Amino acid sequence: MYEPVIGLEIHLAMKTKSKMFCACPADSFGQEANSSTCPVCLGLPGSLPTINYEAIEKALMFSLALNCQVPDITQFHRKNYYYPDSPYNYQISQFDKPVGEHGFIDLSNGRKIGITRCHVENDAGRSVHPAYANYSLVDLNRAGAPLIEMVTEPDLRDPEDAREFLQKVRAIAQALGVSDANPEEGKMRADVNVSVRLPGEPFGTKVEVKNLNSFKSVQRSLEHEIKRQSRILEDGGSIKQATLGWDEGGQKTYLMRTKEEAADYRYFPEPDLPPMQIGQNWLEAIKAKTPELPDLKLARYLAAGIREYDAQILAFDHQLASFLDEVLKHYSEDAQAVANWLNGDITGYLNAEAKPLQTTSLSPEALAKLLKLIDTNTISGKIAKDILPELMQGADPEKLIAERGLSQVTDSSEIEALIESVLAENPELVERVKANPKAINALLGQVMKASKGKANPEIVRSALSKKLAI
């Protein structure tokens, strides 16, 4: 009976070459500690920040894609707080004039989720805390990496909605090339704010949950919190404002700290960085170079005849969508067939191998060829499925079929011969089928087996039916 009220705060690691305020590499994954630093990101005395043009442009592109209003002038502010991984003990962020405000994303259930603001800031480094030691170890490689922070209005009403929202944000970020946006690599981080209330009542006290490493964790932690808070309120208790962490192993939230006074960040305009005038010309140029957004892809896939369910999955998965678009360049006869393969066997393969599509050697041309071979009855659907793993590793279907003689058997005399031999070897089965024609599949199976899967099932079926006069 309690209804949840959910808001999200999302950080996306931007996909630029260099950091936000210096020319060190933006991505230092796998590098030795403190090997990707300079006076600026180390916060050495005398160092000064400089603004990465590409980061601002990407942030503007992202704001526009989220339907935000973009200001005429945007500027940086210093956000002052002492933080172990932050060498300046302030963050260069945005306060009064962020790159985007008052945007929204529509969910598939029609709900419109408001986006309060979108802004740019620098990331901090990271600390490691060796067990039982009285010290910590700091690596500033990530300090200064460019981030987009986006904050939603408390418009979400369901953990499933929250998950869909995150997937949409990820899809948009990936489609635009703004961020790789994968939580597993830390490129997308989400904190949630959640409270519950009786319908019609004002918002309840909210808690913040952090340390969520995946979309699933977001959903689970919300489900957990909603239950927990509802139970407390039902028992007549009250919710205290707090910051909670999510224990993945125990699947529950834990108290990190109670909410003290709101932190006093003492924002003031960043004196080291002149403000940025945005202007119509720049916005037009950005719009012109913005890649196709997932919603437009969805519309396009539906128009091409792909079912809603499949189209949604494909449009909002950047790798699948890009791959699908390439395949469609070579094979446009049956888009749904391509969708079936991508969402079916290929996704099955990727899940089993725990690999993303782009790390396999499957080429769009190969899949297109495969589909054509099926259409022309050159191979059966079953054979196609059998050879898929090899195609995923880069094999060419035409070559493979030729080498192994996998072509479908369609020649009527060959099929006659196969049927003759199977009928001869299975007299009881023949009797059973003559008595009950619905059992014909058993005989069909035998013929397919005898042909090593190469016979065309439709032709066999009709030949069998004719032969047995059923």
Partner 1 sequence: MMFAHEIAEQVRTGKRSARAVIEESLARADAVQAELNAFISIPRAAALAAADAIDKKIANGEDPGVLAGVPVVVKDNICTKGIRTTAGSKSLEHFVPPYNATVIERLQAAGAVVVAKANLDEFGMGSSNENSAYGPARNPWDASRVPGGSSGGSAVAVSSGVAPIALGTDTGGSVRQPAAFNGIIGYKPTYGRLSRYGVIAFASSLDQVGVLARSSKDIALVMDVMAGHDEHDATSIPEDKPQFLASLNAADLAGIKIGLVTELSGEGNTEGVLAAISRTKDLLSRLGAQVGEVSLPNAPYGIATYYLVAPAEASANLARYDGMVYSTRIGENALGQAEVMMKSRGATLGPEVRRRILMGTYALSSGYYDAYYGKALKVRRLIANDLEKAFSEFDFVLTPTTPTAAYKLGEKSSDPLAMYLDDIDTVLANLAGIAAVSVPAGKAEEGMPCGVQFLAPAMQDEKLIRLLSALELAQGETFAPLSPFKG
Partner 2 sequence: MISDKDMEHLKTLARLEIAPEETHHLKDDLNKIMDYFEQIRHLDTEGIEELARPVSLHNIFREDKIVSPLAPELVKALANEEENGFFKVPRTVDSSD
* Interface contacts to partner 2, rule CB under 8 A: 16-18, 23-25, 32-39, 42, 44, 50-56, 73, 81-84, 89, 127-129, 133-140, 210-211, 245, 256-257, 264, 266, 268-269, 271, 273-277
The DSSP letter of residue 469 is: T
Strands 207-212 and 242-247 come out as: parallel
* Inter-residue contact 29 to 207 (CB < 8 Å): no
Of 75 and 230, the one with the shorter C-beta distance to partner 2 is: 75
Judged by CB, which is closer to partner 1: 96, or 234?
96
**Structure tokens that stand for 84 in this block:** 């172990």
As a whole number of angstroms, the distance between CA 298 and CA 22 comes to 38
* Cβ 321 vs Cβ 315: under 8 Å: yes
Of 57 and 365, which has the nearer Cβ to partner 1? 57
Among partner 2, partner 1, none, the one that 16 touches (CB under a kind-dependent 5 to 8 A) is: partner 2
* Residue in this structure with the two tokens 């094979």, named with its chain if needed: 331
Q: Let me know how long the chain is.
A: 470
Question: In the set 90, 246, 323, 331, which binds partner 1 (CB under 8 A)?
Answer: 90
> Do the Cβ atoms of 9 and 162 come closer than 8 Å?
no
| Structure token digits, residue 257 | 């700290």
Residue 349's closest CA among 399, 393, 397, 301? 393
The site for partner 1, by CB under 8 A, has a size of 31
Alpha carbon distances (Å) from 135 to 84, 262, 378:
12, 28, 67
Among 25, 33, 47, 153, binds partner 1 (CB under 8 A): 47
- Side by side, the strands of the sheet bearing 268-269 are 90-93, 77-80, 268-269
Q: Are strands 207-212 and 100-106 parallel, antiparallel or unpaired?
A: unpaired
Closest separation in Å from C-beta 203 to partner 1: 23
Minimum distance of partner 1 from residue 38's CB (angstroms): 8
46 makes contact, choosing from partner 1, partner 2, none, with CB < 5 to 8 Å by partner type, with partner 1
Hey, CA dihedral for 196, 197, 202, 205, is it positive or negative?
A: negative
Instruction: Give least dist CB 196 to partner 2, A.
Output: 25
Handedness of CA 280, 281, 282, 286 (dihedral sign): positive
CB closer to partner 2, 251 vs 277: 277
CB of 252 to partner 2, least distance (A): 18
Which residues in the 217-276 window bind partner 1 by CB under 8 A? Answer: 264, 266-268, 271-274
When the beta carbons of 89 and 393 are compared against partner 2, the nearer one is 89
323 Cβ neighbours under 8 A, 6+ residues apart:
342, 357, 364, 367
Minimum gap (Å) between residue 40 Cβ and partner 1: 8
Rg (alpha carbons) of the chain, rounded to whole number = 29
Is the Cβ of residue 3 or residue 85 nearer to partner 2 in the bound state? Answer: 85
Q: In this structure, what DSSP letter does residue 167 have? A: H
Instruction: State the minimum distance, in angstroms, from the CB of residue 68 to partner 2.
Output: 20
Q: Out of partner 1, partner 2, none, which partner does residue 24 contact, by CB within 5 to 8 A per kind?
A: partner 2
In terms of CB distance, is 259 or 385 closer to partner 1?
259
45 binds partner 1 (CB under 8 A): yes
The answer to whether residue 329 forms part of the interface with partner 1 (CB under 8 A) is no
Question: Is residue 89 close enough to count as binding partner 1 by CB under 8 A?
Answer: yes
207: buried, middle or exposed (CB in 10 Å: 19+, 13-18, 0-12)?
Answer: buried
Is the Cβ–Cβ distance between 408 and 454 less than 8 Å?
yes
Q: Which does 257 bind (CB under 5 to 8 A by kind): partner 2, partner 1, none?
A: partner 2
Site residues for partner 1, 371-430, by CB under 8 A, read none
256 binds, among partner 2, partner 1, none (CB under 5 to 8 A by kind): partner 2
| Least distance to partner 1, CB of residue 99, Å | 18
Stretch that binds partner 1, among 3-11, 79-87, 324-332, 429-437 (CB under 8 A): 79-87
Contact pattern for partner 1 over residues 2 through 41, marking x by CB under 8 A: -------------------------------------x--
User: Tokens 């028992």 sit at which residue?
Assistant: 235
| Residues of this chain, 110-149, that bind partner 1 according to CB under 8 A | 134-136, 138
DSSP codes, 55-118: HHHHHHHHHHHTTPBPPSEE--EEEE---TT-TTSEEEE-SSS-SEEEEEEE-TTSPEEEEEEE
Residue 156, classed as helix, strand or coil, is: strand
- Cβ closest to partner 1, residue 87 vs residue 98: 87
Binding residues for partner 1 (CB under 8 A): 39, 42-51, 78, 80, 82, 84, 87-90, 134-136, 138, 264, 266-268, 271-274
